[in-house]
Amino acid sequence: MKKYKKLYRIAGLMLAGTLLLALVTTSTYAADSQKKTVDPLPSWNEGATKSALIDFVEAVTKKGSKDYVEPAARIATFDNDGTLWVEAPMYTQMLLAIDRVKALAPQHPEWKTTQPFKAVLEGDMETVGASGAKGVMEIVLATHSGMTAAEFEKTVTDWLATHKHPKFNRLYTECIYQPQLELLAYLRANGFKTFIVSGGGVAFMRPFTEKAYGIPPEQVVGSSVVTEFQIKEGKPELIRQPKMGFNNDKAGKPVGIYQHIGRRPILAFGNSDSDMQMIEYTMAGEGRRMGLFVHHTDAEREYAYDRKSHIGTLDKALDEAKKNGWIIVDMKKEWKKVFPDLK
């Protein structure tokens, strides 16, 4: 009787082993076949750009390839406004600033008679626009400083959770480009570290980039105001000052990359002439590289603008792209879908 029990146990163990083996074999096979058939960029139409992206990623990740790049050096940088999310009809950060001027107006009676604040309060956006970069900077500094880091973060988070884009009737953080989400994920799955390198405020972007794009705060490079550490009533605080710190735009982008990341990207993606220096810096490194610009050509699904736009201007880069091997991504033609579905 005892002997039989032992035999039964051995048989049972062997059966379990066989099932396990079958399971392992099947799942390995499934993973293999999946690898070959799943499209990593389903929202990109078939064509030259999609092929170039996949070809690039395969070349730099394949061991033994002449273009192979060590995982640590696989740095990809993306502009934010107009490259990862909608920047029209106005930068989202500027919309927040305008709302903050209105909210803070009772504490600033002088704004009723001082430009550009007077124009903001009167909704006279033409005068605001005419105040130029200096006026915009005044509005940004007045609304982005004079509070702790934590207070500003809360202001941004609350605003983004409650304001929708007028054309798309969805939260601004939902006006993000589905093809770019797929590209970011595809790059990360292939060992890339993905960064945002934007002229926008770093403290404005960080509260939403992880949830929206899977990019953590420490991988966001942007403009900043001077910030001071103070101990107030025994509590250490970071106080945002009404003074511009680093301007991470145009020629500031490669500098921001140097100071923050400390390595040259091998892929960079922008959408306007303000991204040219980042792309130039990226392309000037050794080995295989890739530089791309989103071209906003889709008035129906998004917006159409380029050369003489008051939004983002894609002009010089459009002319020089071919000569420099930069890829211009025609949104209308190359993106099967613009925004992610909402749950």
Which residues would be at the binding site for a copy of itself (CB under 8 A)?
13-22, 24, 72, 75, 149, 193, 195, 202-203, 206, 210, 216-220, 224, 227-229, 231, 235-236, 238, 245-246, 251-255, 258-263, 277, 280-281, 284
Give the nearest distance from C-beta 265 to a copy of itself in angstroms. Answer: 11
- Least distance in Å: CB of 227 to a copy of itself? 5
Please state, as a whole number, how many other Cβ atoms lie within 10 Å of the Cβ of residue 163.
Answer: 15
CA distance 271 to 275: 7
DSSP state letters, 55-76: HHHHHHHSTT-TT---GGG-EE
3-state secondary structure of 148: strand
Structure tokens at 230: 């103070």
At closest approach, how far in Å is the CB of 96 from a copy of itself?
Answer: 18
Nearest to a copy of itself of 23, 52 (CB atom): 23
d(CA 67, CA 61): 8
Contact yes or no for 79/86 (Cβ under 8 A): no
- Pick between residue 130 and residue 284 the one whose CB is nearest to a copy of itself: 284
Q: Tell the smallest beta-carbon distance from residue 223 to a copy of itself (Å).
A: 10
Report residue 40 CA to chain centroid gap. Answer: 18
Closer to a copy of itself by Cβ: residue 15 or 161: 15
* Residue with smaller CB distance to a copy of itself, 24 or 299: 24
Q: Which is nearer to a copy of itself, 14 or 125 (CB)?
A: 14
Measured from the CB atom, the residue of 165 and 240 that comes closer to a copy of itself is 240
- The closest alpha carbon to 89, from 308, 331, 310, 273, belongs to 310
Burial 212-251 (b: 16+ CB within 10 A, else e): bbebeeebbbbbbbebeeeeeeeeeeebbeeeeebbbbbe
Nearest approach, Cβ of residue 21 and a copy of itself (Å): 4
Tell the smallest beta-carbon distance from residue 157 to a copy of itself (Å).
13
